[in-house]
Amino acid sequence: MASPNQQYHGATFKPHKHFAANSPFFFKKTNLYTLALLLVLCTFSYLFGFWRHDGGGRSVLSVNKSAATATTNTIVSTPCDPSKATTAAPKGQKPLDFSSHHKADDLDSTFTSEVKTYPSCNVNFSEYTPCEDAKRSLKFNRHRLIYRERHCPKKHEILKCRIPAPHGYKNPFKWPASRDFAWKITQNLPFCPAQDPDKAWYTSTETCLTHLPEVSSKEDVAGGELPKWPERLNAVPPRISRGTLEGITAETFQKDTALWNRRVSYYKAVNNQLEQAGRYRNILDMNAYLGGFAAALTEDPLWVMNVVPVQAKVNTLGVIYERGLIGTYQDWCEAMSTYPRTYDLIHADYVFSLYDGRCEVEDILLEMDRILRPEGSVIFRDDVDVLVKIKKISDGLNWDSQIVDHEDGPHQREKLLFAIKTYWTAPAEGGRHETTTSS
């Protein structure tokens, strides 16, 4: 782009001998015409570039519309450098358009029609946990307490409504809160035959103990020695250093750790409430992989339940434990064994691509709505076309949501969807729903 102070020099050339000898003014006239033409072109380029820079050259990512209280909105502008985020537009000034302008062209007709709405379930379901329904469990065999295991509803039994918070429900007090863990130790049992010790989803209960990994001498630590906390969080876990996880190396682990540190910094730039102590304390990562998302949040006063889907290509739950984090298995085509309104924030990294064709998107979202507290948040990361479908359904759940560009810029197909579950409860007897919608 040209600068207004830049000097331009006319193009010069060596004329043909015939013209140099017989036309003494030809060179001077041609030189002036060339100079004038260059001046016009450069002036046009400067003006066009100035117009582009002033009218359409700025690129913004998005905002997070939060609901820390029912009447407070926080707008976060995300510049190219997330560390220099601003929090609000100047008073009286029209806010910038942070909307995503990407449009999926290959949506089927089911996602271009009117938004489907999901009614509230009866207040009797306010504590409903689908796979742990006490009344339904009585239909199953009592041998070895099988009836006490998970028994999920069949497809035709799945509720298509939103679980209500009971009337008068109040969000719990802020962190810190006491947490107690109870451990049951079983003694004097025989050892199990050779098996995969990490296989723990829908496996039969056996009255035996699992063997510890073999060691070469009595001084060795079974499974590999672990550094003390907090060094063990970012040290290469023994399962990876021993090469027991296919396709995952020490370099893979280190790159993943660095990647999630950068991604979490970007999340905090978009949603500055992630940096507010006490806003979120119970967090669920639906597809945790190596636990990088949770590891990037260890300096914050919160805890993360890391879930490894049973459909994941590699079973990485052992790595999560070796890092000193907590985790579990889950099939997201089924309900999670936890109470309604357990989590303040849910992170879903490519969960819906993983379950594409396995079960209905709306069923996973309804389960997320069940276990998410009123005014809780969700961060989806997936292909943009998948996020457009998710947003369509989440609108029917009465969530506020916004599609946001990838941390590497708008030219990535991978995008983010930030959503907030609005506050609402079951009505008082004979009354209406108690609802607060953030504007």
Query: pLDDT (tens digit, 9 = 90+) per residue, 261-292?
Result: 999 999 999 999 998 988 999 999 999 999 99
Mean pLDDT, rounded, for 221-228: 85
The angle formed by the CA atoms of residues 208, 214 and 218, to the nearest 5 degrees, is 110
Determine the CATH number of domain 82-121+165-212+221-436. Answer: 3.40.50.150
Per residue in 113-151, pLDDT (tens digit) is 688 999 999 998 998 999 988 888 888 888 888 888 888
User: Among 40-44, 91-95, 145-149, 250-254, whose mean pLDDT is lowest?
Assistant: 91-95
Task: Name the residue among 367, 432, 398, 381 with its Cα closest to residue 118.
Answer: 398
Higher pLDDT, 153 or 429: 153
Where exactly are the structural domains of the chain? 1-57, 82-121+165-212+221-436
User: What pLDDT shows up at residue 289?
Assistant: 97
User: What pLDDT shows up at residue 366?
Assistant: 97
User: What pLDDT shows up at residue 63?
Assistant: 37
Mean pLDDT, rounded, for 307-326: 96
- What is the C-alpha to C-alpha distance for residues 389 and 110, in angstroms, rounded to an integer? 9
Per residue in 102-112, pLDDT (tens digit) is 555 555 555 55
Which region holds residue 324: left if phi is over 0, alpha if psi is between -120 and 50, else beta? left
User: What pLDDT shows up at residue 148?
Assistant: 83
User: Among 17-21, 40-44, 211-215, 336-340, whose mean pLDDT is lowest?
Assistant: 17-21
Q: Per-residue pLDDT for 55 more than 90?
A: no
Q: Per-residue pLDDT for 181 more than 50?
A: no
Mean pLDDT, rounded, for 184-201: 72
SS3 262: helix
End-to-end CA distance of the chain: 43
pLDDT bucket at 92, cuts 50 / 70 / 90: low
User: What pLDDT shows up at residue 205?
Assistant: 74
- What is the C-alpha to C-alpha distance for residues 221 and 129, in angstroms, rounded to an integer? 40
User: What pLDDT shows up at residue 133?
Assistant: 86
Q: What is the pTM of this model?
A: 0.64
pLDDT bucket at 83, cuts 50 / 70 / 90: very low
Work out the burial of residue 97: count CB atoms within 10 Å of its CB; fewer than 13 is exposed, 13-18 middle, 19 or more buried: exposed
Measure Cα distances from 368 to 105, 165, 356, 402, 427 in Å: 27, 14, 16, 17, 22
Task: Name the residue among 265, 325, 264 with its Cα closest to residue 289.
Answer: 325
User: What pLDDT shows up at residue 57?
Assistant: 45
Phi, psi for 383 (deg, rounded to 5): -65, 145
Higher pLDDT, 264 or 100: 264
pLDDT bucket at 352, cuts 50 / 70 / 90: very high
User: What pLDDT shows up at residue 64?
Assistant: 41
Give the residue ranges of DSSP H helices in 81-221. Answer: 134-137
User: What pLDDT shows up at residue 18?
Assistant: 44
User: What pLDDT shows up at residue 211?
Assistant: 77
Q: Per-residue pLDDT for 69 more than 50?
A: no
